[in-house]
Amino acid sequence: MRFENYDCSAGCPVEATLELIGGKWKGIALFHLLSGTLRYNELKRKMGSVTQRMLTKQLRELESDGLVLREVFAVVPPRVEYRLSEKGKTLAPVLLALRDWGDKHTVHRKSKALA
């Protein structure tokens, strides 16, 4: 797993966490998976403008880091589901705190679809 061993200053745990969940789409994917298991297309729909390539890349990294579990069902068409691992579930307070901070300190724009 990436980012497991750091030998540096007191700020390293913050750096390590940001490396794991950093980027535009990882935090959003993790946030949506807090509600439970989602099929790939359900997750993509909830995330808006993410491309299939980028979402797949981000999910693979989250899986590689042990935060997300991927299950493939041998059906036609193939069905893939994602859910948080036990390690991923421990990020819930962090993700909810980020949401709460964003609610208090950012201006929310209406989506074009709602305007």
Residue 48 lies in a domain: yes
Residue 111 lies in a domain: no
How much is the CA Rg of the chain, to the nearest whole Å?
A: 16
Residue 40 lies in a domain: yes
Residue 63: which CATH number? Answer: 1.10.10.10
Q: Would you give the distance in Å from CA 115 to the centre of its chain?
A: 27
Residue 47 lies in a domain: yes
Percent of the chain with pLDDT strictly greater than 90: 64
Dump pLDDT digits (tens) for 70-79.
999 999 988 9
Residue 80 lies in a domain: yes
pLDDT for residue 7: 60
Residue 3 lies in a domain: no
Contact call for residues 80 and 71 (beta carbons, < 8 A): yes
Contact call for residues 82 and 69 (beta carbons, < 8 A): yes
pLDDT for residue 89: 97
Indicate the number of domains in the chain.
Answer: 1
Contacts (Cβ under 8 Å, ≥6 apart) of 14: none
Q: How far apart are CA 68 and CA 82, in angstroms?
A: 7
Q: Fill in the amino acid letter for 90.
A: T
Residue 66 lies in a domain: yes
**What global pTM score does this model have?**
0.82
Dump pLDDT digits (tens) for 3-49.
555 566 666 788 888 888 988 899 999 999 999 999 999 999 999 89
Tell me the residue ranges of DSSP E strands in the chain: 38-39, 68-73, 79-84
**Could you list the residue range(s) of the whole structural domain that residue 44 is in?**
12-104
